């Protein structure tokens, strides 16, 4: 494993956009995450756009969880309250451990940016098979908040007092 900023362990991270309408050209949220992952020095292992379908999402994320080369997955989209927002339903059942504080902290930080609309965010995270999975809303702003204020530190092995890197399959 190589070292990046602050001598941090570099991870292989898959970015998955959950959307029935986005394309590689119109996927601003996924692009925000890809850029930030690369800027830190982590490797963007894969970048996919998956329709908001429960079983298709489970299949793709299960494949990534089973891949021994993937340490982290960041999903964007499908976390709202419409009938096509299926990320939570599809993904939470795959977790070995839920990270309850992630959603709570995300909504707290997001409140400062979008006010009470943050209650409609079902951001969540968990661990599965030594892989950490972060699920963010589908807006570029939500992706910036999630990465810049939470995920970057939790995927930085030099972040103190703790981070999730020692819990990952490396």
- Per DSSP, which regions of the chain are E strands? 12-18, 43-50, 72-76, 97-98, 124-128, 131-136
> What range defines the domain where residue 27 resides?
14-159
26 token code pair: 């119109």
CB atoms within 10 A of CB 24: 11
Question: 3-class SS at 50?
Answer: strand
Preceding omega of 84 cis (within 30 degrees of 0): no
What residue spans of 4-77 are helical by DSSP H?
A: 28-40, 54-66
Is 169 among the domain residues? no
Is 168 among the domain residues? no
Q: What stretches in the chain show pLDDT beneath 70? A: 1-6
Burial of 110-122, coded b for 16+ CB within 10 Å and e otherwise, reads beeebeeebeebb
Output the pLDDT for position 3: 61
Is 8 among the domain residues? no
Is 50 among the domain residues? yes
Is 167 among the domain residues? no
Is 165 among the domain residues? no
Output the pLDDT for position 162: 95
Output the pLDDT for position 145: 97
Q: Is the dihedral of CA 30, 147, 63, 67 positive or negative?
A: positive
79 token code pair: 């976390």
Output the pLDDT for position 119: 86
Is 154 among the domain residues? yes
Output the pLDDT for position 135: 97
Number of domains in the chain: 1
Output the pLDDT for position 4: 60
Output the pLDDT for position 2: 60
The model's pTM is 0.94
Output the pLDDT for position 6: 62
Alpha-carbon distance values, 144 to 77, 110, 136, 141 (Å): 13, 10, 10, 5
Is 94 among the domain residues? yes
């Amino acid at each position: 494993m190589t070292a990046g900023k602050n001598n941090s362990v570099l991870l292989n991270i898959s970015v998955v956009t959950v959307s029935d309408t986005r394309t590689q050209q119109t996927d601003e949220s996924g692009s925000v995450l890809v850029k930030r992952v690369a800027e830190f020095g982590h490797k963007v292992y894969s970048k996919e756009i998956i329709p908001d379908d429960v079983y298709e999402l489970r299949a793709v994320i299960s494949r990534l969880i089973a891949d021994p080369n993937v340490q982290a997955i960041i999903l964007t989209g499908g976390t709202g309250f419409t009938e096509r927002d299926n990320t939570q339903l599809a993904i939470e059942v795959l977790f070995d451990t839920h990270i309850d504080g992630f959603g709570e902290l995300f909504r707290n930080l997001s409140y400062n940016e979008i006010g009470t609309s943050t209650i409609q965010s079902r951001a969540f995270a968990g661990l599965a098979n030594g892989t950490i999975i972060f699920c963010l809303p589908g807006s570029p702003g939500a992706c910036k908040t999630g990465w810049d204020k939470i995920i970057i530190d939790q995927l930085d092995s030099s972040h103190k007092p703790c981070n999730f890197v020692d819990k990952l399959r490396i």
